[in-house]
Structure 1
Amino acid sequence: MRVLLPLLLTLFIAAPAHATKAHSHGTAELEVSVDGDVLSLALESPLDNLLGFERIPQYEKDFAKVREVAAVLRAGDKLFVPTAAAACTLLGVTLSADAISPELLGEKAAPAAARTDHEHADLDASYRFKCAKPAELKNVEVRLFDSFKRIRFINAQLVAGKTQRAARLSAKSRSLVW
């Protein structure tokens, strides 16, 4: 029981943070971490913020919109601009959404079963940058607001070395600074 109790407490404490993430139109979540010379960003946004709808794409105009949004999201170095002096280069982007097939998002993964219910749907995007001068990395300007007018706020969490910070970004205050 002494071994089981700490494990159960850990699961109980950790589970609500993920399970209670609110799905709120107009708001996205961004997790930023710096580990050595790698800058990682994980974006979670309601599909409505990006596409203007959350249902499974059904019509050619829906498919075209998904492809257009995927192309914008894949240009991660235009959406997330790290401190210039750090000389960061985008290594890769991964996109996923339960309501959209991976191929439509430009992923090579085998197709997953598309969601068929009518609940709210999100898109997850992961970005990895390699920085030639990581000591110079002091901020990331988030330019998602320029491309996605439905995003009003981004709740950002940062872990960089000994620094942990939270910020609420907006079109007028778009830089995460540390």
Structure 2
Amino acid sequence: MRHLLLALPFALLPLVAAQAHEHDHDEHAHDSLGAHEHGVASLNVALDGNLLELQLESPAMNLVGFEHAAKSEADKAKVAATKRELEQPIGLFALASGDCETREVELESPLFGDADHEHEHEHEHEHEHEHEHHEHEGEHSDIQAFYRFECASSAKLQQLDLSELFKRFPATEKIQVQLIGPNGQQGMQLTPAQPRLSF
């Protein structure tokens, strides 16, 4: 990954995950987003001084409600609305307490881009989704969002609150979070009932 802050420290996190869940790498891979499990997203968080980086990865189904290329006006409107929401991350992650300003936003998904390419795989995607779900995750549409913030009052940033994200995207049932902050590394699963993670 091209973002240094996330690339270096998160290389160590499979060890943390293995310790936390006592799973081997195969089991961890099954639990991770690599399995493209609907309802489940992953979030990497790195807080270093005043710099906060977040990397969210989710099946498009969780955020948009479908994974096919947007052809109808209703589908296109839904994709556009989801993209607008993801482009306003301060509210989604409740970062106001840290006096954070968004410095960088990167959104990536087949749904946001090359519709012709997505169309080529649509029928195959529908078939694979039903019969060989885990073996062909490349046929599924994911949404990836990367955010970089500068937080003037990072010491006041006590927690990450994903309540608003769960509220706006109710198909998201749980988010696997891996965090590196002032107190070291930690991992946990957040849900609508337990949406907060302390730094």
Q: TM-score, normalised by structure 2?
A: 0.70
Q: Distance in 1 between matches of 2:68 and 2:43?
A: 23
Partner residue in 2 for 1:92: 104
Give 1 or 2: higher helix fraction: 2
Amino acid at match of 1:135: A
Give the C-alpha shift of residue 57 in structure 1. Answer: 1.3
| 1:138 equivalent in structure 2 | 158
Q: Distance in 2 between matches of 1:174 and 1:100?
A: 27
TM-superposed CA distance for 1:23, in Å, is 0.6
Shift in Å, 1:138: 2.2
Residue 158 (structure 1) aligned to one of 163, 179, 182: 179
d(CA) in 2 for partners of 1:139, 1:26: 23
TM-align CA RMSD = 2.6
Match of 1:66 in 2: 79
Give the TM-score of the pair, scaled to structure 1.
Answer: 0.78
Q: Of 99, 114, 128, which aligns to 2:117?
A: 114
Note the C-alpha offset of 1:87.
Answer: 1.7
Q: Which structure dedicates a bigger proportion of its chain to strand?
A: 1
Q: How many residues align?
A: 157
Instruction: Answer yes or no: is the 8 Å Cα contact 2:69–2:115 preserved in 1.
Output: no
Shift of 1:137: 2.4
Task: State the SS of the aligned residue for 1:78.
Answer: helix
Quote the residue 1:32 is aligned against: 45
- Contact kept, 8 Å, 1:99 with 1:114, in 2: the verdict is no
Q: Letter of the 1:55 partner, please give it.
A: H
Q: 1:176 to 1:113 in 2, by over 3 A?
A: farther
Tell me if the contact between 1:83 and 1:136 (Cα under 8 Å) persists in the aligned partners: no
In 1, distance between residues paired with 2:29 and 2:154?
30
> Structure 2: 5+ residue runs without aligned partners?
1-10, 15-24, 126-138
In percent, how many aligned pairs have the same letter? Answer: 34
Q: Is the 8 A contact 2:90 2:96 kept in 1?
A: no
- Secondary structure of 2:175's partner? strand
Contact between 1:95 and 1:126, CA under 8 Å: does it hold in 2?
A: yes
